[in-house]
Chains A and B, each alone.
Chain A
Amino acid sequence: MQEKAEIRSKYWLAVFLVAAYTIPFAVGIYTENVFFDLQWLADLTTVILNGIMQGGVYAMFAVGLTLIFGVMRIINVAHGELVMLGAYLTWMFFFYVGVDPLLALFITLPIAFVIGLLIQKLLLNAVVGGPELTPLLITFGMGLTIIHIVEAIFTTDYRTIPYAPDAFQLTETIAVSRSKIISFVMAAFISITVFIFLKIHRIGKAIRATAQNADVAMVCGINIFHIYMITSGLAAALAVAGGALVSIQFGFNPETGVLYTLQAFAIIVLGGRGHYIGALIGGVMLAVIESLISFMIPNGTAMVEIASYGMMVFVLLIRPRGLMGPKEN
């Protein structure tokens, strides 16, 4: 019975995803934004490539959120604000110290790791394992506090970092923004490094063991409170790295973190809560659909948020465990 429901939910998810990717094309055809000539196909390829590049960055910061959820069952709604904080840290180092945004990662990531440790130590350790609402409200309050502090310091003005604005011509008609390529390569490098760390390193194994069963991890000698702190530090570092990489592509202000939180949630719901590879796949899938919407639907740029909201809601309804998440008990 359960197996049948599992297979049915898988099929429904497949149907939903096919429909989700078809809708932009259907609307594009209806609104005469789809031409099927060579130039349009080249533009479509460019858009999809840009989406994949963007997805790599989304996936990286979503992995931080999924790690925290997987290890502590905490829904950190301030994750996007840490992404935004990463963008501002990068901006500060770029404009005030003159450090290249990528080189700034060597400074901002350790800072982020310490911020994550402190958040865990001072706010979250006391509520891990308790009712889910408590950490949710704590992180919600923390997110708002970060927004207001950043607003007080930097105002609500949009900031940008001019970095590698030119495009890289793949063919005569297909070009990808250089900053997107750089961001994607960096995100892929960081994601793979974290993946290898989790897979091979002793602490990484302890993180995975704690995620699977914290009680057993404890009787196997793992100090789960240290693991919680390391996980939070790692998640904050991934968020700040994400912030650095989006800051060289898009403008940002203190409110943009909310959108990143939403995107990260949509990604981990799609990929499967607590699942690392699922988050990577979900990130790319979400970014590609966002790109398709903004390319084919009139005024689509303003509608990309619908993709995140819609995907999250429908996947939760159809298959709560997403593509690769563990079975719900």
Chain B
Amino acid sequence: MLQYIIRRILIAIPVLFGVTVLNFLIINLAPGNPVDMMVNPSATPAQLAATKHALGLDQPVWVQYWNWLVQLLHGNLGFSYSTREPVTQILMAHVGPTVLLMGVSLIVGYLIAIPLGIICARKQNSWIDYIVTGFSFFGISVPHFFLGLGVIYVFASKLLWFPTGSMNTLGGDGSFIDTFNHLVLPVLVLATGIGGNMVRYVRSSMLDVLGKDYLRTAKAKGLSQFLITNKHALRNSLIPIITVIGIDIPLLIGGAIVTEQVFQWPGLGLLTIQSITSRDYSTLMAINLLAACTVLFANLLTDILYAVADPRIRYD
């Protein structure tokens, strides 16, 4: 197992290299450059050229990439072209809010979806199954910006129950309750989508398992229905559930771009949009790198969890 993990981590290095090359090329293909976005419109062409030269932006793309890569290997992510702060510092400031928002959304979504999925499978084709399946379709189909604007209109603008956006009240104390109030609406939007998706996987995977012979064996032993469902059946339907969780984990970093925009949540999503509009190459590269690492980590974690959930899966 340990050998397997080490092998997977070694494979991740060339993958990450490829990802950064592609990202760097694509970013540089986009029209415009950081200098156009950051300097005063009245600057002369000579001043622009001087700034570009100072930042190294007049060099060929591959030289720029090489410089970036060398700095990265020294642990330096560069500084932001627009705010002039070190990228590491900016990233640190934005990771927390996003992980908080997405973490809470994932947990809330799963806590609701997994039991509901089990109930739906146990009571297939009953009214509760139809209602839950209907809601899950709604959750998957409705775009986040639309649902986001909808809940802002109803709960923030009309009912005044929750704030319309941001993470803390401006000039407030930043207390837990304040953050919680700001969390409710974006979590509602995100958990609807995450939960809606999860319900369908749990339901179908449980349905697959519920007809199996070994559940009849369990029942023939005199076990209660609760134990049969939640011990014998659920453990066997974990593989698809783990797969979905593995796909969801990268959302912790990059999953809420639209929702963060709608709610002005000061996380990585908002940072991404700002960095794109200001052509802030160094910040974008750092966000991409972080996202790529998260995806690779989630994939590895998924494969390890497979082996934990199903003893027939072994990596030797």
A and B interact? no
- The interface of chain B, by Cβ under 8 A from chain A, is none
